[in-house]
């Protein structure tokens, strides 16, 4: 690690490859807001993007800080697994805490700007809710990811709150017809949250974490993930029955996109047994790619709806 430059260390710590988990909800929210007004706000777009990036830094760094003890346990149990920022000495815990906390303040500042310049009065409150969900997820005293229920909190934040904030900053409206499209997306976010615990099953259990995987085991957790992926298309089809919501054809197309991915996710889940880290990584990769495809497909169709007659 001593040979790494400061830039390389921070690049490893910030994990930019994980940012699509927040950037896709941002894009979907922008499309939902645009669908509501029919007018694109560059200021709403830029402020929402700045908030999302700052929030991503806040989440990534403080999540590593909050999980430093259980990450150290995993490193001792499995020395050859993927790098851990603090446990591997990439960066000290204090730096992650300070920079992560500053990123949270920057995110809040970007949410306060719309209050002053584009009449988005609820933006600061919404930002506090989004940041507060993560604090409750991984930091003392609540630490739901250690007490149980962290997956539900993550699904709420990624699948509902972040898209809503982006949509609100774009449109200025509290309620938008296309918000019903978040039904299937939030279910996929829950599947992703559960799948993320598969590779940490034994170290999380040793560290006292109460995730679904540590509570019910690998096999049942994988079945739940596959079941949720199968439920998401049904949720989008059910949303298509709501009058004055997202255009039916958009929801049907998104449901079809999601359904097509189900068999590949089911196949990828079968070898992802306890401590099969490569297979678990492949499952998460396939699942994340499916979520990104569904979210971006939905966002693109919503944005183009006026021009394609939907």
Higher pLDDT, 307 or 5: 5
* Spatial CA neighbour of 154 closest among 101, 102, 120, 197: 197
* Residue that is written with structure tokens 């896709």 in the block: 24
For residue 114, give Cα distances in angstroms to 22, 34, 54: 20, 17, 16
Are 195 and 283 in contact by the 8 Å Cβ rule? The answer is yes
State residue 305's pLDDT score: 83
Phi first, then psi: give them for residue 295, nearest 5 degrees. -65, -45
Average pLDDT (173-192) is 96
State residue 2's pLDDT score: 47
List alpha helices for the chain, DSSP H: 6-14, 20-37, 42-66, 68-77, 93-117, 123-138, 144-147, 150-156, 162-171, 182-195, 201-206, 212-216, 218-239, 248-269, 277-308
Widest CA span of the chain, in angstroms?
A: 60
Residue 255, pLDDT above cutoff 50: yes
How far apart are the C-alpha atoms of 246 and 254, rounded to whole Å?
Answer: 11
How far apart are the C-alpha atoms of 161 and 299, rounded to whole Å?
Answer: 16
Phi first, then psi: give them for residue 244, nearest 5 degrees. 60, 30
Cα torsion 18, 19, 24, 29: sign: positive
Tokens of 278: 């490569």
Hey, is 64 helix, strand or coil?
Answer: helix
* Residue that is written with structure tokens 């430093």 in the block: 68
How far apart are the C-alpha atoms of 256 and 264, rounded to whole Å?
Answer: 14
State residue 128's pLDDT score: 95
What is the per-residue pLDDT across 193-239, written as a single tens digit (0 to 9) for each?
A: 999 999 999 999 999 999 999 999 999 999 999 999 999 999 999 99
Mean pLDDT across the chain? 93
Residue 242, pLDDT above cutoff 90: no
Kindly calculate the radius of gyration of the chain based on its CA atoms and give it in whole angstroms: 19
pLDDT above 70: percentage of residues in the chain: 98
pLDDT above 90: percentage of residues in the chain: 85
Q: If pLDDT is split at 50, 70 and 90, which confidence band does 189 have?
A: very high
What is the per-residue pLDDT across 57-77, written as a single tens digit (0 to 9) for each?
A: 999 999 999 999 999 999 999
Average pLDDT (262-278) is 96
State residue 1's pLDDT score: 47
How far apart are the C-alpha atoms of 40 and 303, rounded to whole Å?
Answer: 10
State residue 81's pLDDT score: 78
CA angle (148, 282, 237) in 5-degree steps: 70
State residue 310's pLDDT score: 62
State residue 203's pLDDT score: 94
What is the per-residue pLDDT across 193-202, written as a single tens digit (0 to 9) for each?
A: 999 999 999 9
Q: Could you count the other beta carbons within 10 Å of the beta carbon of residue 208?
A: 12
What is the per-residue pLDDT across 117-162, written as a single tens digit (0 to 9) for each?
A: 888 999 999 999 999 999 999 888 899 999 999 999 999 999 999 9
């Amino acid at each position: 690690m001593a040979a790494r430059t400061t830039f390389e260390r921070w690049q490893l710590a910030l994990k930019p490859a994980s940012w699509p988990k927040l950037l896709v909800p941002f894009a979907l929210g922008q499309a939902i807001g645009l669908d509501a007004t029919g007018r694109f706000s560059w200021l709403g777009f830029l402020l929402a993007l700045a908030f999302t990036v700052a929030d991503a830094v806040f989440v990534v760094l403080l999540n590593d800080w909050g999980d430093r003890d259980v990450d150290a346990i995993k490193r001792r149990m499995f020395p050859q697994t993927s790098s851990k920022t603090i446990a591997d000495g990439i960066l000290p815990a204090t730096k992650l805490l300070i920079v992560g906390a500053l990123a949270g303040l920057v995110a809040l500042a970007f949410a306060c700007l719309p209050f002053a310049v584009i009449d988005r009065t609820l933006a600061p409150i919404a930002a506090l809710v989004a940041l507060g969900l993560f604090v409750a997820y991984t930091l003392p005293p609540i630490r739901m990811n250690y007490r149980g229920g962290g997956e539900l909190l993550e699904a709420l934040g990624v699948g509902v709150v972040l898209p809503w904030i982006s949509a609100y900053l774009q449109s200025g409206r509290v309620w938008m017809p296309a918000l019903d499209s978040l039904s299937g997306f939030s279910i996929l976010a829950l599947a992703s949250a559960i799948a993320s615990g598969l590779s940490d099953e034994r170290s999380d259990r040793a560290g006292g974490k109460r995730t679904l995987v540590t509570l019910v085991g690998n096999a049942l957790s994988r079945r739940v993930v596959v079941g949720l992926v199968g439920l998401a298309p049904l949720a989008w089809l059910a949303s298509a029955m709501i009058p004055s919501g997202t255009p039916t054809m958009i929801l049907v197309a998104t449901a079809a996109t999601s359904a097509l991915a189900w068999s590949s996710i089911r196949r990828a889940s079968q070898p992802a047994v306890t401590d099969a880290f490569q297979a678990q990584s492949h499952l998460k990769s396939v699942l994340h790619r499916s979520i990104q495809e569904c979210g971006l497909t939905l966002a693109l169709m919503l944005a183009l709806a006026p021009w394609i007659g939907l």
